[in-house]
Structures are given as structure tokens and as C-alpha cells.
Structure 1
């Protein structure tokens, strides 16, 4: 993990931006709680991770699939099996798909909660 943190620090010092929204099911699973805990370190190294509850994501019309956008030019849609195991990523460079996913990214960002506030809310809920 240290090499990832070092890379984040170096890249963000050069002006690169690393940001993501994690859509999570409530109550949090042990894995999601671990992810929230780990995010304190990546956020401290320059990444901005935010959280959005799945019910809220569905309410605002966000898709039910995971994806990564790279510099708003390349999309990688993740494919998972019914148990959530990673099957592979599909690289998509179609402009229309990238615009649609960029809109969803921005909508998710607008409705998401910063990692530290989200972690505090979970502690107050006793999760």
C-alpha cells in the first residue's frame, strides 16, 4: 500500500487529480468498513474518496454497475458475477458512452459524502 500512497503523493503534487465515489450498501459489510478505514490514508495522500449509499444512488438514477473514468477520455466498465467476483474490465472509448458516464460521475459526486464525514456518521450510528 505504501507504493500506492507514494504514487498518489507524487502525482497530486504535480497537479493530477484522483477522485472516486464508492456506492455502498447499508449496513456496511466488513469489507466496506475496512475500505472506509483504509480511505483515510489514501485521502491523506491526495486522493478524494467519497461515499454514497446505494438507495440514494438508485433514487437519483445512477447505474448499477462499477466503472472508472480516466481523464474523461477512456472508460473501463467492470464486470462482476452474481457474487461480486471480478470477471474483467471492458475498455470503452465511445464518446457518447463516456459523456453519459461522466454525467453519472458528476451526479454521484454531487450526492456523495466526504470520507471523514461519512466515517463520523457511521460511528455515530454505531456501525
Structure 2
């Protein structure tokens, strides 16, 4: 269902939260460390980031498929006003 919503341009709840955070004057960013091949869930998640970016989130994608991880967590994580906070962990298969 969510994949269809994204394909048709509907926003998701996450962008509403990001917009509210940004409207309070705070900065929010995310780094997502990925490895290929991408799962269906990860393709869905990457497609959904466009809404968060439009709402003001700074989203960075780091592909470490052919190189060692530079010491970042193996899941995406958020940064709120220069303080990192581990992201949620989900089964992405």
C-alpha cells in the first residue's frame, strides 16, 4: 500500500514530522549507509526520502558496497542539531 502511495506522489507521515521539526527552527539530517544489492524495502525507503528532503531534512546516502564502512552504524541514523541519534532498526528484507 505505501509503495502505491509513493508512486502516486502521496506524502507519508515522516515528512509531516520533519516539517514540524524544521518549523521549530531546528536542523535535522540523516545518513543512510547502504550496500548493494538493494532489497525491495530499501528501494521503497530510498524513494520515500524525497518527501523528507522536500520537508527540509538533509538526507545523505553512503554506498559502501565495494569499500569498508568508515565507522558509521550499519543502519540509518539521524542527526538533530549536530547530535547523532541511532535510527530505528527494522527488518529490511
TM-score of the superposed pair, with normalisation by structure 1? 0.47
- Label 1:62 to 1:56 Cα distance change in 2 as closer, same or farther (>3 A): farther
Q: Which residue of 2 aligns with 1:62?
A: 71
Supply the distance in 1 between the matched residues of 2:49 and 2:55 (Cα, whole angstroms).
10
Structure holding more helix per residue: 1
* Residue segments in structure 1 that go unaligned for 5+ positions in a row: 86-127
* Equivalent residue, structure 2, for 1:6: 16
Contact preservation (8 Å) 2:29, 2:80: no
Q: Is the 8 A contact 1:23 1:57 kept in 2?
A: no
The answer for the alignment partner of 1:15 in structure 2 is 25
1:25 corresponds to: 35
Moved over 3 A (4+): 63-71, 74-78
Unaligned runs of 5+ residues in structure 2 are 1-11
Q: How much does 1:7 deviate?
A: 2.5
Larger radius of gyration: 1
Structure number with greater CO (CA < 8 Å, separation at least 6) is: 2
